[in-house]
A and B are shown apart, each in its own frame.
Chain A
């Protein structure tokens, strides 16, 4: 089945230790998104890619970066995680003309010690 896969599902890191979260998709969608979601809050968009065009949300901290080496894969790098970065990180995909219909991966739960 076509899907969005995220690895790892759970990630524990230490304060200040860089971490990379990965996302892959078999839907062949040209748009990929990274969201941060904290408990009882709305998903907050961090970045999105239209094909290789990178779009950074204005309030995304510099500590967060992203890479999309090809259509199928996208990575979220957190350079120096702080306690406030503990959250669920969701990857989603969509077609370019249907950006409201997004398919989410299962998420990566990040814990910062």
Chain B
């Protein structure tokens, strides 16, 4: 069974700090990796994607991928209270078209 694992949290960081969210996946055939943000009671929203090993930066967000270790992470710099949400890691393999979501990590940014 293809699994995506995340620490459920909550991860609490002070405002202005770096939040680090981690995700591991079991399917070595996975090719594409996504981070979705989900506010409480709302639907998921795509914030980052990464396909190649290394780092990808977009504003305050950096996605990191290590396929050898089957590990993907999301860094949020200068965390704001508005970043408080659940962050879902999702993985897409070439052999399938469906996204496999993790359960999400709850992030709380305290003022």
Give the A-B pair count, Cβ closer than 8 A. Answer: 49
A–B complex contacts, Cβ < 8 Å, 10 sampled: A40-B104, A42-B4, A42-B101, A43-B101, A90-B43, A90-B44, A100-B34, A100-B99, A104-B44, A107-B43
Contact with B along A9-48 (1 / 0, CB 8 A): 0000000000000000000000101000000111101001
Contact in complex: B102, A45 (CB < 8 Å): no
Contact in complex: B32, A100 (CB < 8 Å): yes
A100 to B31, CA, bound (A): 10
Q: Closest CB of chain B to A106's CB: distance in Å?
A: 6
Q: Closest CB of chain A to B105's CB: distance in Å?
A: 11
Interface residues of B in 65-111 (CB under 8 A from A): 88, 90, 92, 97-99, 101-104
Count A-side interface residues using an 8 Å CB cutoff.
Answer: 21
Nearest residue (CB) in A for B49 is A100
Contact in complex: B88, A43 (CB < 8 Å): yes
Q: Closest CB of chain A to B26's CB: distance in Å?
A: 14
Q: Kindly state whether residue B42 has any CB partner on chain A within 8 Å.
A: yes
Contacts of B44 in A (CB 8 A): 43, 90, 102, 104
Nearest residue (CB) in A for B34 is A100
Q: Closest CB of chain B to A16's CB: distance in Å?
A: 27
Contact in complex: A42, B88 (CB < 8 Å): yes
Q: Kindly state whether residue B45 has any CB partner on chain A within 8 Å.
A: yes
